[in-house]
Structure 1
């Protein structure tokens, strides 16, 4: 543990712009004397579901594909994800999880059953990517694993058998079967969820009914002590708090009943209308603002649920995992509506930065989040088109925040926060988050939400001020297969004189700076 030094004072002054009522001066204090929780690396977790081209083509192309691959995994995507230092993978869903029968995805691929993916596009699922492929992929990335069990159409025995197949090393018929299928040692299962979105696609259940099912199923889910996963209960969505209330009331973790976390889902929809969500590109300025305004609502939802847990679980044994989050727009024209394929722009990177800042503030409970989804679906890191691949602005946002993985949170306070206004509504024009990384350096992440107007930041008591900046003149700037480098981070540095640096944070930008060992 590094010895923390006195409070770091950072002063900001802002130039007037058309979206600010008047010029303003803002102080940012980074309190190094009172560090917060460790920012669990799994806050930067990813989500991969059998949905559209999220797995097939996006990750798995098969050993005989003309696309360069390693044992069926496409090499370009694999390399890009390695560089992203993906800490955690969630699979197989999502809604798909509660119709997924694990035995369909083991054994010789040419003998696996062909089923219909009734949730996503009604396409044929050939089950070429199953349990063994998932763990092999996670091991190639060095990522932890999160498996979502089938509560909706499964049974306690099916779920128990799957967990035993994955984790056991006893000389049982299931373990012999796993070894016959090519895996001698047990798989490492770090997290295991009992159901998904049980309030909706996972069974249209009530919180009370689900809580009773959770207790029933979890009573039989056992694994070796050195390979026991953390168990996750399916929680609510949006403003719902009744799931957290009921689960934390009815399920008291003990030696015979484990509930290590409750999940929560929230998607950012610019229009706040599921029927017409808004476009990923070519959107009006009003939807830049509304998308950011909608994404910031997640903080209230987290705060309300955490308050319930603080009351019902004062020893903080139960985490609050936002295991699905991200932007959701109308699908790109000409694509299968069931594939949820959408472009990814600078706006998405800004939204990612804002969410990361919020998750960091609640890291004591929010120990995992999973953006939806990793490749080709919703707010993806990567888009592919057959042999072509591009990295998205969200990919770069996550890559810029790698130093925050397992860093120690440093509280940030802002005074006189300027407001970015649209009509009668307003949101903060500036967002910030800071942490002391494992390398001993302090990092600060800054987001300027405005479409116009740079923010000048004066940092005091710093050793250096260098990092990366992601921005563009166009609010919907994005990478295409014809022009894959339209938007990517640029290096940024400022001179430091007598411990002071002046930073200009451009409009609609995300910046992560290394301030040195303070």
Structure 2
């Protein structure tokens, strides 16, 4: 019999709510035609799409990162403040379009307040200047009596926004980036920028650019230069299916995500910093071939990411899914309708149920093998919420055809009462949602009595099961 052993004394560390963040960029239909659609009957007086807003509130992102992405490296924030009709239209060189600037800093902050998210702003270290970055901090966080703080007040926002999370540029290691830099060039500019920004507001937290793809020395050089200034180093990771079958795809993703985290953890440890940084998965997601919707298999990959974050709670303390709407999205919106992608549901479930302390779960089950790598057929994490005396067990059954039965064993006490169970599944692992059929991939809520220290459960093939179980 397969076994899942839960021991409240085996704690990995507290779960930081910031791992349930998301990301919006001036790209495609993410902002314009996504969260913001002026003149649409489905939008409010501010231009915010109300049906999208309600879906975002369900997702309840704890952090919302803006304005990019590659867009950030050519963006000048002053273009996006003040009266909308007076803002300049600019050539946008990252994504080869025209930027209207009708959505900017003030609209972004208002949106984060509506959805209850903490704002994260990425400054321009491509074409931007040190002054521009520091002045943006002043505009957002300064009190009355200085130029940019008074500008914010004149624009209708007298109270400081108190934005605490700031990214020091985006993917500056990549030659696709406007203002691409070597590690030494980036580290030098980022250090001076960090000084200017923290001397404007010492309470902010800064995210340094990690390498976008594994490079030999980038992270080491950045960590050494920014020791004492950076609070995080970023990871950007997008997994792709290629021509793999569903099982091979899940095994590939399980190993890719875990190895990336372990690599950056080792680099942080080797840097021997005076002030060790945490990892921010600034952008995590799944490649989406043009014209294809996310399948159930992709939804399971989202759960595998989240399980990996829960297994590394001391180091991975912030993460933002990329992106929120229309672009490799959780939510797809047309002018008059929306539907939820398969990636939406795991993030929603973990956000609302996996909180408190991450537990070190022991799992005894067979492995799946693909391309010389293995992964447990049951990918399992657990979170203990002391306040409600509950344990949430998250189980991804990676097997594409077979149910897997396992006994959940509580090593410290036992279970009592009725468990709340949520199962994300579909008829086929290749099913996906669409405007025509919005519920091929869906979550079913169940309740089941679970009593004693050993509880058997059958996990359906190709599924995510989230079980909130109460302790006596």
**Which category describes the TM-score, using the shorter chain as reference length?**
over 0.9
Corresponding residue of 1:293? 251
Alignment equivalent of 2:232, drawn from 261, 285, 306: 261
Corresponding residue of 1:466? 420
Corresponding residue of 1:10? none
Give per-residue Cα distances to partners, 1:2-21, cap 9 Å, x unaligned.
xxxxxxxxxxx3xxxxxxxx
RMSD: 2.0
In 2: Cα distance, 1:104 partner to 1:244 partner: 32
How far off its partner does 1:407 sit? 1.6
User: Contact 2:126 / 2:180 at 8 angstroms: preserved in 1?
Assistant: no
Counterpart secondary structure, 1:320 = strand
Corresponding residue of 1:95? 70
Residues 135/241 of structure 1: CA separation in 2 closer, same or farther (3 Å cut): farther
Residues 293/241 of structure 1: CA separation in 2 closer, same or farther (3 Å cut): farther
Question: Do residues 475 (structure 1) and 444 (structure 2) align?
Answer: no
Residues 77/313 of structure 1: CA separation in 2 closer, same or farther (3 Å cut): farther
Corresponding residue of 2:179? 203
In 2: Cα distance, 1:28 partner to 1:202 partner: 48
In 1: Cα distance, 2:9 partner to 2:443 partner: 32
Corresponding residue of 1:181? 155
In the superposition, the TM-score normalised over structure 2's length comes to 0.93
How far off its partner does 1:449 sit? 0.8
How far off its partner does 1:344 sit? 1.8
Corresponding residue of 2:262? 303
Corresponding residue of 1:45? 21
Counterpart secondary structure, 1:73 = coil
Question: Do residues 86 (structure 1) and 86 (structure 2) align?
Answer: no
How far off its partner does 1:424 sit? 5.5
Corresponding residue of 1:5? none
Corresponding residue of 2:360? 411
How far off its partner does 1:423 sit? 6.9
In 2: Cα distance, 1:165 partner to 1:455 partner: 55
Q: Which runs of 5+ in 1 are unaligned?
A: 1-12, 14-25, 272-277, 279-285, 333-341
Alignment equivalent of 1:436, drawn from 381, 384, 395: 384
Corresponding residue of 1:455? 404
User: Contact 1:259 / 1:318 at 8 angstroms: preserved in 2?
Assistant: yes
Q: State the aligned residue count.
A: 463
Corresponding residue of 1:244? 219
Give per-residue Cα distances to partners, 1:411-434, cap 9 Å, x unaligned.
11223x312245755432110000
In 2: Cα distance, 1:413 partner to 1:70 partner: 52
In the superposition, the TM-score normalised over structure 1's length comes to 0.85
Corresponding residue of 1:7? none
In 1: Cα distance, 2:248 partner to 2:396 partner: 16
Question: Do residues 108 (structure 1) and 83 (structure 2) align?
Answer: yes
Q: Map 1:297-376; keep pairs closer than 5 Å.
A: 297-313=256-272, 317-332=276-291, 342-376=292-326
How far off its partner does 1:483 sit? 1.9
Counterpart secondary structure, 1:86 = coil
Give per-residue Cα distances to partners, 1:335-380, cap 9 Å, x unaligned.
xxxxxxx5122112100111111111111011001111011111x2
How far off its partner does 1:292 sit? 1.9
